[in-house]
Chain A
């Protein structure tokens, strides 16, 4: 297509008003905006959080997707029924469950081992969505660190201990299934 093709519709720049052409009013306008942000930040209302000294405020811990936990039921047993729905839903294949016959009469199976490789996890929350008994949940713990890869593979005890650590701050979400919320 050539530049003189009749099919081309040339768009000019937007027409400026006189005040815009004068430049100075808009300049002053822009300067006040910058100055307003400057004054606001100097007065201590910046959005930056000085992390190790200050913890960031998580708006709603219940929907934050941090480290996993395995919930306990009212008798302190693991709630999981080893149905493998979370492991199936997991797009990163980071959940590994070994099921065994349940020692309790109210369910058929329970997880003998339940491991999550936190390094493979992409924190998408699909396991939480898939779980039919609300046994697996994502907490608002975000500062997950470790010194080795092995350390970052969380087993059942560790995941249960995450629950013990966070149960007061973040109650279980569904009361229908025995949660505390």
Chain B
């Protein structure tokens, strides 16, 4: 590996680490603003440039929040397991950042020195990117469970426990939703998956059922409302990070927003065409500087849209009860994911066998997959597997 390549990777890592940390901080502001707006309030709008009267719509708020939380006492409860207590947020944050190694944040940049174009991903050409991402995001669960256990507190423990059950339950539909995409794209590399969508249409349109399953599972994986049971404030104080304060709390909170970004990026890259926008970005590998930056812009805008959707949903739906969450995961999403995979596989095999790849045929097969979505939803509604009888059991009746 040449020095130039090492430098390239270091620069990309620096951009990602700095950019994501900043994005995380500003997403907190965005979240608070969205919360305020949906509740007819104004939200934080006072903090601007310090020692001046410029308020800049509250854009200084993340800095003030960060300064505040860093200056807070970093307290460790006496009963806590000190080693694990310190280790948990570090694991959580590292896993959160490590996930971005394989996620492309654009297409390519034209080379400066006349060599190959620069791929806008930290680890380019990693042909098991999807598997890597799933492995790393599973480690994040480890940080949550560890934090809950090491705190030696009931609330933290319950939060950690719920989190482990929830994340395991929703990892399955997430994987099943992904399976359809990977099967059609024929690759585990995110760049390849985007390239496949530029040819065959966005997977969100051709596999709507898988899209639905994946989005719902992604909400649960990112522990966003309506699935934020690991840290539901009303029942568990703060969930697994109840006992944390100061810097270590900040690490937990920031990682949650990193998860939000990861989930949004996955949704965009796997189902919404990544940097591709028909008629605007082009599909070819060779792009000029303008085209390359346009693709980065398109990808970022899509991710922002998805994040806004996440935040809007937060104030739309109340939190699921624990048994409802489990029922939705195991009884609804898992079968739907399987149905989606079977439907995708069958439709693709039919297309391959009879060579029905033209424009109208593609549209027809997409219509069939929308029909599959409608039928599955209808089946779920009629069977209603979510309904549970919670009455106390009476012996002998």
- CB distance A31 to B316 under 8 Å? yes
The minimal Cβ–Cβ distance linking B308 to chain A, given in whole angstroms, is 9
Binary per-residue interface labels of chain A (19-39) against chain B in the complex, 1 for a CB within 8 Å, 0 otherwise: 001111001001101110110
B15 an interface residue at 8 Å Cβ cutoff? no
Interface residues of B in 330-385 (CB under 8 A from A): 377-378, 380-382, 384
Closest to A36 in B: B38
- Cβ of A4 < 8 Å from any Cβ of B? yes
How long is the Cα–Cα vector from A27 to B380 in the complex, in angstroms? 16
Enumerate A19-74 residues with CB–CB distance to B below 8 Å.
21-24, 27, 30-31, 33-35, 37-38, 40-42, 45-48, 50
- For chain A, the count of residues having a C-beta within 8 Å of the partner chain is 27
Is the Cβ of A37 less than 8 Å from the Cβ of B381? no
Residue of B nearest to A45 (CB): B40
Which segment of B84-92, B143-151, B198-206, B389-397 sits at the interface? B389-397
Chain B proximity mask over A89-133: 1 for CB below 8 Å, otherwise 0: 000000000000000000000000000000000000000000000
Q: How many residues of B contact A (CB 8 A)?
A: 26
> A22-B381, A31-B313 known; A42 and B394 CB under 8 Å?
no
Interface presence of A144 (CB below 8 A):
no
Contact B378 A3 (CB under 8 A): no
* B-chain residues with CB within 8 Å of residue A40 when the two chains form the complex: 40
Q: Which residue in A23, A34, A48 is a CB contact (below 8 Å) of B41?
A: A48
A46 to B42, CA, bound (A): 7
Q: Is the CB of B377 within 8 A of A42?
A: no
CA distance A17 to B377 in the complex (A): 14
Is A181 engaged at the interface, CB distance under 8 Å to the other chain? Answer: no
Residues in A whose Cβ lies below 8 Å from that of B98: none
Complex interface: chain A residues within 8 A of B377 (CB)? 22-24
A22 partner residues in chain B, CB cutoff 8 A: 377-378, 380-381
Q: Which chain B residues lie closer than 8 Å to A41 at the CB level? A: 36-38, 40-42
CA A41 to CA B34, docked complex, whole Å: 10
Give the distance to chain B from A20, nearest Cβ to Cβ, in Å: 9
- A3 near B312 with CB under 8 A, answer no
The minimal Cβ–Cβ distance linking A44 to chain B, given in whole angstroms, is: 10
Q: Hey, which chain B residues are within 8 Å of A37, CB to CB?
A: 37-40
CB-defined contacts of B40 to chain A, threshold 8 Å: 37, 40-41, 45-48
> Can you list, as one digit per residue, whether each of B195-235 has a CB less than 8 Å from chain A (1) or not (0)?
00000000000000000000000000000000000000000
Decide if A34 touches B378 in the complex (CB within 8 Å).
no
- CB contacts (< 8 Å) of A45 on chain B: these are 40
With A38-B37, A41-B37 given, is the CB distance from A21 to B394 under 8 Å?
A: no
Q: Is B37 within 8 A of A21, CB to CB?
A: no
Q: Which of B238-281 contact A (CB under 8 A)?
A: none
**Is B317's beta carbon under 8 Å from chain A?**
yes
B132 at the interface (CB under 8 A from A): no
Measured CA separation A50–B45 after assembly (Å): 9
Interface status of B315 (Cβ within 8 A of chain A): yes
Residue of B nearest to A30 (CB): B316
Q: Which of B312, B380, B393, B394 contacts A35 (CB 8 A)?
A: B312
Which residues in A have their C-beta under 8 angstroms from that of B394?
Answer: 2-4
A27 & B317 in contact (Cβ 8 Å cutoff): yes
Interface residues of B in 1-55 (CB under 8 A from A): 34, 36-42, 45
| Contact partners of A47 in chain B: CB under 8 A | 40-41
Distance in Å: Cβ of B16 to nearest Cβ of chain A? 30
Docked complex Cα distance between A57 and B380 (Å): 51
Q: How far is the CB of B227 from the nearest CB of chain A, in Å?
A: 14
A3 adjacent to B392 (CB under 8 Å): yes
The answer for the CA separation of A30 and B312 in the assembled complex, in Å, is: 10
Q: In angstroms, how far is the closest chain B Cβ from the Cβ of A38?
A: 5
Closest to A41 in B: B37
Interface bits B308-329 vs A (CB < 8 Å: 1, else 0): 0000110111000000000000
List A contacts of B378 (CB < 8 A). Answer: 22
Q: Which of A21, A38, A48 contacts B38 (CB 8 A)?
A: A38
Q: Which residue of A lies closest to B397 (CB)?
A: A4
Q: Would A34 and B315 be within 8 Å (CB), given that A41-B37, A50-B42 are in contact?
A: yes
Are A34 and B392 in contact, with the CB atoms below 8 A? no
A43 to chain B, nearest CB (A): 10
Closest 7 CB pairs of A and B: A21-B381, A41-B37, A30-B316, A4-B394, A48-B42, A22-B381, A34-B316
A-B contact pairs, 10 of them (CB 8 A): A18-B381, A21-B380, A22-B378, A27-B317, A30-B316, A34-B315, A37-B37, A38-B37, A46-B36, A47-B40
14 new A-B pairs (CB below 8 Å) besides A30-B316, A38-B38? A2-B394, A21-B381, A23-B377, A34-B316, A37-B38, A38-B37, A38-B312, A41-B41, A41-B42, A46-B37, A47-B41, A48-B36, A48-B40, A48-B42
